[in-house]
Chain A
Amino acid sequence: MKISMNWITEILESDLDPYATAEKLTMSGTEVEETAHSEAPGSGVVAADVLETTDHPASKRNGLKVVQIWDGKEKVQVVCGAPNTPGKGARVVFAGSGVDIKGFKLESRDFEGITSTGMLCSEAELGIGPDESGIIILDEDIKAGTPLGSGVNLEDWILDLSITPNRPDLLGHIGVAREIALLAGIPFKPPPVRKDWQEIQEDSSTFVEIVIEDADRCPRYTAAVVKDVKIKPSPLKIRNRLHLLGVRPISNAVDITNWILLLHNQPLHAFDLKRVGGGKIIVRKAKERERIITLDGIDRYLEENDLIIADKFSPVAVAGIMGGEGSGIDDRTKDILIECAYFSPATIRKTASKLNLSSESSYRFERGIDPANQVNALKESVWMMCRLTGGKAAKGLIDVHPGPHRPVSVVLRESRIEKTLGVKLDWNESLKILEGLGGDVKKNGPSATMTVPAFRPDLTREIDLIEELARINGFDKIPSRFPVITASAPERSSYDLVRKIREQLAAGGFIEAVNISLVGSVKQKKYFPDRQPVNIANPLSSEKDTMRLSLLPGLLDNLVYATTWKEKSVRMFEVGTVFSSGDGGPVEGIVEKTNAAALAFGPRPRWVEDNKRGESDFFDVLGLLQHLCDCVWHCEPKIARASDTIPVFLAPASACRISLQGEAFGWIGELHPGFYQWLDIPKTKAEKGKVGLFEMSLPSIKPVEKKFKPIPAYPSAERDIAMIFNDNVQVEDVLQAVRKEAGEILESISLFDIYRGKGTQWSDNKSMAFSLIYRSAEKTLETEEIDEIHSKVIHTLEKRLGGKLR
């Protein structure tokens, strides 16, 4: 909401510093987003009288005129091409040669033999209005030679206020002036009510009858008739002010409705009286499927709950929101019916939101205008209408008032102020502030009753008054204290667990991503063809129309993005929420789960493998998963080839379910080759790049603390085995066979090399090398003992798994 400081000054009859005013408003709850200076044209731009206008002898076709003007000092000749160049007697705006207009210095110019010493100006040329269709013709009574800037007072300061929804009273200049007066400690007097306009003999009621059928939603409807108007542009001052406040000036009648809107915060509607059929205005519910073409040219169907303004035959306006196309003012309008009403905020909100239609008018009605100011605003508008259009008002204003405003009274207890704010405020000072808000305050010892002014619908409770006191005094009057917080054992939340998981995944060398949970339905279908995601009813785009079922599509997008920037090695993870339909969550029909997912792609980082840097695959994410489970849940994850259906984006050869202590909670595997091309993941140098990935929900198991094992007292003995096996022998087969044969004396066995190719003789063979550690808890093992067991182990591997020593 833009505010003209000139207007505020006119209302308060007091000069104010724009910056100090902006600061006071901001610090009292109405943030001023911009304080802008609007400069008047320089002193060389003056009013001038037209003495004579003739056609340019050489350029008749172009419509050029030669105008002789009096600029207050001398007679000057200018050549003017404006279509509205006036004749003798008109008052125009003149800039002589040597004057700067928007950075250009005017010079005398020759137009086919006729010298022009300066120019007649349009609003747009001077930057004081939008009109560039013709030159300014002044209505104002300004003597020739008077600089335009001082004659019309064009210099202004414009404050752009961010008005919170609870303060509809600040949507008009009178309300803002009242607020500024209170903050600046200067008296406030509402502008005097107008009474002096020209009237005709006939009474308003002879032209129109007003009927309110729904008094709840339209408790008051006032109206006036102004006859024999002449529609033309408004005077420069009005046009300029509307322009500075962001409203396009149109014609005197329309500009007046906007003027009153910006001054009184009272939306008006001006009907062309002859288009109000049957001389009747009815405020009623729409009939089902009733139609109206609104001023924006859209044909709209109405519903029974919509409040409309109708004439005898059909709707002429959607009440408080927008007029109908057929009933408004145009250049031929002779007689005007001005509507000045109060509509209940709820009805305007409902209809505006249903029709998806909002206007300056509905914006104000929705928030709640002053229900007791209709007559004042109407009088101001009639006065202006008569003055600017030359019309005469019908006698007697119409005021249909079935639902009079009942003032609200609020009791304030002195003790509650300190109890809420934590500071004691002077009681009498506080009551003075409430009076300054426009309320009628009655003190009764330690409590007081405020009759709330009608323009403050937000003040209905004691706390609302306490807020006003805090606000007007300023928050800096309230001290800072640290609260006394009752100590108790903190509640644990999943936040702790999630943080632990994130820290361990990062410790494992992966980089954390945060993806937006909104994902395109087409993409989700590709990953999860059988699952139905939660849909967004009003999506931002088709790329964000469903809630994610999984974290992996997002991470894979991140991977693709990284590879477009030539990132070779990508290791990322995310911990976040995934969504599905179902029961059991706190919100009916929705299940939210916290998942953790990771992927690895490209060359292994140096610290993973020192000598031979391979390409990331399944085993990189398996290692990460093992590290994670060990650090967070203190146990080892079990992975098992999926016997049931596996996700379509996983390659079947390695896709496994993850479980922890019997609880299944996720998937691990490699990206299905079919997805590489679709995602456009480039092949790595080694031409065998894989994407290892896992995703898990958080298992419900509670981590069991690790238990101390005694440090071994006796030395260990290490032996290696390197054997050639058939390719179908898995590492786990060897581990099991060895453990079974060696028994308790085997402390550990681990794979340290796998080799395929040269030396293994057949293509379906592989060499596997294991390191075994033998140790007894009771004694130092003798070499002979170890040798005996070790040869048994080798024998078993030869016999049971067909291994051959290398």
Chain B
Amino acid sequence: MTLEEIERGISLILEKFNSGLPDQKTVEEVHNFLSSFSGKKGDITKLIKELKNLSPEDRPEAGKLINRAKQEIGDRSKTHIEKIKKQQIEQAVKEAFTDITMPGFPSNTGKLHPLRKTLDEIVNIFTCLGFDIAEGPEIETDWHNFEALGFPPDHPARQMQATLFVQSEQKLVLRTHTSPVQIRRFLASPPPIKIIAPGVVYRNDDDPSHSPMFMQVEGLLVDDHTTFADLKGTLELFLKEMFGKDVPIRFRPSFFPFTEPSGEVDIACPVCGGNGPKNCPICKGYGWTEILGCGQVDPVIFDNVGLDPEHVQGYAFGLGVDRIAMFKYGIDSIQHFYRNDLRFIKQF
């Protein structure tokens, strides 16, 4: 055998390999095909066996050529296998089907109560504006709840707030509003004061539109310069944050014993959009609905807590959380909040 014959043998083998490889359709077929060349009885193996018949000076060159050929068919097989595998994946992906209308696997069924969620949201807005959170007891002294806030005993203004009294030797009440927190805060340390006081309050009312317990957020900003204009700005910002930038808002005068001037704020009825059909359950066709009470802190409060009304001033406001939550979620009755029907809470 000569080197030339080896070379011819190699090119015949390569020709045979290259023409046969594309016919191999599976990984297994490729392996079998490959071993028909480089396996024990393969063509290349046969060629290697022929090396001993070559002249010693030609042997290294011939060995190199055979190895290169062997390397080449190995590489080609590998590439071909990768191609087959890729085709198989593509085929599988093409054939796969998922019924995406099957339900998701639940990870958790816990829920927060819509009223407390609303409260959290309100608190978030005001803490972002720089207000601290303050809290006070739900059973209050008559003095904190009424007298210090400008409601003398037997005063007609007390009739605005039907009160639940505690059986006690002292005069104790279930607080009718979160405003006594103002008094506790004033007595704790002098202004500047910037707080909101979220919490539950109680009234002696129980009918479809009243609950004996409900939630309020009190706000208080007192220093030496805060004006009614600041109050308007703060509340407008809050209401826009809560009900959207375009919500129509109006301030109108009102009366509270602990603020002067006092005001109430209406927003366009969130149910009928302010267009006011006569049967609108919220505004009864009026178009506006009251959302909060507010005003400049009445000097009598400063007198009652030992501050000089000539040198301190500021504003206070009180929000009804239940009403805000009702508007926010379109809930038609306050009674839903305290019945704790899972079919209700799970909606939010």
Any chain B CB within 8 A of the CB of A518? Answer: yes
Q: Are A420 and B166 in contact (CB under 8 A)?
A: no
**Contact partner, A512, options B168, B221, B255, B345, Cβ 8 Å:** B345
- Tell me the B133-175 residues at the A interface (CB within 8 Å): 133-141, 154-157, 159-160, 164-170, 172, 174
Contacts of A572 in B (CB 8 A): 340, 342
Q: Interface extent on A, as a size class? A: 35 or more
Given A422-B228, A471-B253, A579-B139: A588 and B111 interface contact (C-beta under 8 Å): no
- Tell me the A579-612 residues at the B interface (CB within 8 Å): 579, 585-590, 592, 605-607
Interface 9-mer from B8-16, B39-47, B54-62, B198-206:
B198-206
Contacts of A492 in B (CB 8 A): 133
Contacts of B130 in A (CB 8 A): 485, 487, 490
Give the most central of A471, A480, A506, A607: most B CB within 10 Å. Answer: A480
Any chain B CB within 8 A of the CB of A522? Answer: no
- Tell me the A450-485 residues at the B interface (CB within 8 Å): 461, 463-464, 466-467, 470-471, 475-476, 478-485
- Tell me the B204-244 residues at the A interface (CB within 8 Å): 204, 206, 211-213, 221, 223, 225-230, 232-234, 236-237
Any chain A CB within 8 A of the CB of B49? Answer: no
Q: Are A349 and B155 in contact (CB under 8 A)?
A: yes
Any chain A CB within 8 A of the CB of B337? Answer: yes
Give the most central of B166, B225, B262: most A CB within 10 Å. Answer: B166
**Contact partner, A29, options B164, B223, B252, B343, Cβ 8 Å:** B252
- Tell me the A281-312 residues at the B interface (CB within 8 Å): none
Contacts of A562 in B (CB 8 A): 341-342
Any chain A CB within 8 A of the CB of B120? Answer: yes
- What distance in Å separates the Cβ of B294 from its nearest Cβ neighbour in chain A? 10
Contacts of A366 in B (CB 8 A): 156
Any chain A CB within 8 A of the CB of B123? Answer: yes
- Tell me the A138-190 residues at the B interface (CB within 8 Å): 164-167
Interface 9-mer from A238-246, A531-539, A690-698:
A531-539
How many angstroms between the C-alpha atoms of A243 and B218 in the bound complex?
Answer: 42
Any chain A CB within 8 A of the CB of B116? Answer: yes
Contacts of A120 in B (CB 8 A): none
- What distance in Å separates the Cβ of A527 from its nearest Cβ neighbour in chain B? 18
Contacts of B211 in A (CB 8 A): 516
Chain A: CB-nearest residue to B135: A493
- How many chain B residues touch the partner (CB < 8 A)? 90
- What distance in Å separates the Cβ of B51 from its nearest Cβ neighbour in chain A? 48
Q: Are A167 and B255 in contact (CB under 8 A)?
A: yes
How many angstroms between the C-alpha atoms of A562 and B174 in the bound complex?
Answer: 29
Chain B: CB-nearest residue to A592: B137
Q: Are B106 and A606 in contact (CB under 8 A)?
A: yes
- What distance in Å separates the Cβ of B98 from its nearest Cβ neighbour in chain A? 20
How many angstroms between the C-alpha atoms of A375 and B273 in the bound complex?
Answer: 51
Q: Are B166 and A534 in contact (CB under 8 A)?
A: yes
Q: Are A561 and B340 in contact (CB under 8 A)?
A: yes
Contacts of B206 in A (CB 8 A): 540-541, 544
- What distance in Å separates the Cβ of A628 from its nearest Cβ neighbour in chain B? 12
Contacts of B264 in A (CB 8 A): 31
Contacts of B174 in A (CB 8 A): 536, 547
How many angstroms between the C-alpha atoms of A419 and B227 in the bound complex?
Answer: 7
- What distance in Å separates the Cβ of B182 from its nearest Cβ neighbour in chain A? 14
- What distance in Å separates the Cβ of B153 from its nearest Cβ neighbour in chain A? 8
- What distance in Å separates the Cβ of A683 from its nearest Cβ neighbour in chain B? 19
Contacts of A606 in B (CB 8 A): 105-106
Contacts of A485 in B (CB 8 A): 129-131, 194, 221
Q: Are A496 and B133 in contact (CB under 8 A)?
A: yes
Any chain A CB within 8 A of the CB of B113? Answer: yes
Q: Are A587 and B255 in contact (CB under 8 A)?
A: no
Any chain A CB within 8 A of the CB of B339? Answer: yes
How many angstroms between the C-alpha atoms of A572 and B227 in the bound complex?
Answer: 45
Contacts of B154 in A (CB 8 A): 346, 349-350, 353
Q: Are A514 and B253 in contact (CB under 8 A)?
A: no
Contacts of B156 in A (CB 8 A): 165, 349, 366-367
Contacts of B123 in A (CB 8 A): 495
Given A513-B340, A515-B340: A476 and B228 interface contact (C-beta under 8 Å): no
Q: Are B105 and A422 in contact (CB under 8 A)?
A: no
**Contact partner, A516, options B139, B213, B228, B345, Cβ 8 Å:** B213
**Contact partner, B108, options A26, A29, A607, Cβ 8 Å:** A607
How many angstroms between the C-alpha atoms of A502 and B170 in the bound complex?
Answer: 35
Any chain A CB within 8 A of the CB of B279? Answer: no
Contacts of B202 in A (CB 8 A): 517-518
Q: Are B253 and A502 in contact (CB under 8 A)?
A: no
A-B contacts, CB under 8 A, total: 259
Given A420-B313, A507-B110, A518-B212: A547 and B139 interface contact (C-beta under 8 Å): yes
Contact digits for B245-259, partner A, Cβ 8 Å, 1 yes 0 no: 000001111110000
Any chain A CB within 8 A of the CB of B274? Answer: no
Given A493-B132, A562-B342, A589-B170: A540 and B204 interface contact (C-beta under 8 Å): yes
Any chain B CB within 8 A of the CB of A104? Answer: no
Chain B: CB-nearest residue to A577: B138
How many angstroms between the C-alpha atoms of A509 and B112 in the bound complex?
Answer: 10
Contact digits for B318-348, partner A, Cβ 8 Å, 1 yes 0 no: 0000000000000000000111111101100
Given A481-B233, A514-B115, A516-B338: A537 and B165 interface contact (C-beta under 8 Å): yes
**Contact partner, A587, options B106, B141, B337, B346, Cβ 8 Å:** B141
**Contact partner, B337, options A481, A514, A534, Cβ 8 Å:** A514
**Contact partner, B134, options A475, A491, A540, A570, Cβ 8 Å:** A491
Q: Are A511 and B111 in contact (CB under 8 A)?
A: yes
Q: Are A476 and B251 in contact (CB under 8 A)?
A: yes
How many angstroms between the C-alpha atoms of A164 and B168 in the bound complex?
Answer: 31
Any chain B CB within 8 A of the CB of A677? Answer: no
Q: Are B112 and A512 in contact (CB under 8 A)?
A: yes
How many angstroms between the C-alpha atoms of A579 and B167 in the bound complex?
Answer: 13
Contacts of A518 in B (CB 8 A): 164, 202, 212-213
Any chain B CB within 8 A of the CB of A125? Answer: no
Any chain A CB within 8 A of the CB of B261? Answer: yes
- Tell me the A530-585 residues at the B interface (CB within 8 Å): 534-541, 544, 547, 558, 561-562, 565, 567, 570-572, 576-577, 579, 585
- What distance in Å separates the Cβ of B227 from its nearest Cβ neighbour in chain A? 3
Any chain A CB within 8 A of the CB of B276? Answer: no
Q: Are A517 and B200 in contact (CB under 8 A)?
A: yes
Contacts of A588 in B (CB 8 A): 170
Contact digits for A12-55, partner B, Cβ 8 Å, 1 yes 0 no: 00000000000000111101000000000000000000000000
**Contact partner, B204, options A353, A422, A538, Cβ 8 Å:** A538
Contacts of B221 in A (CB 8 A): 483, 485
- What distance in Å separates the Cβ of A698 from its nearest Cβ neighbour in chain B? 13
Q: Which residues of B contact A (CB under 8 A)?
A: 105-113, 115-116, 120, 123, 127, 129-141, 154-157, 159-160, 164-170, 172, 174, 184, 192, 194, 198, 200, 202, 204, 206, 211-213, 221, 223, 225-230, 232-234, 236-237, 250-255, 260-264, 296, 298-299, 313, 337-343, 345-346
**Can you show 23 pairs from A to B with CB atoms below 8 A apart?**
A31-B254, A420-B227, A422-B228, A466-B260, A467-B260, A475-B252, A480-B229, A486-B223, A487-B130, A495-B198, A506-B110, A509-B108, A511-B111, A511-B342, A512-B345, A514-B115, A517-B138, A537-B166, A540-B206, A576-B200, A589-B172, A605-B106, A606-B105
Given contacts A547-B174, A587-B172, 6 further A-B contacts (CB under 8 A): A471-B261, A508-B110, A511-B111, A518-B213, A534-B167, A589-B170
Nearest 7 A-B pairs (CB), nearest first? Answer: A422-B229, A422-B227, A29-B253, A164-B255, A483-B230, A506-B110, A349-B154
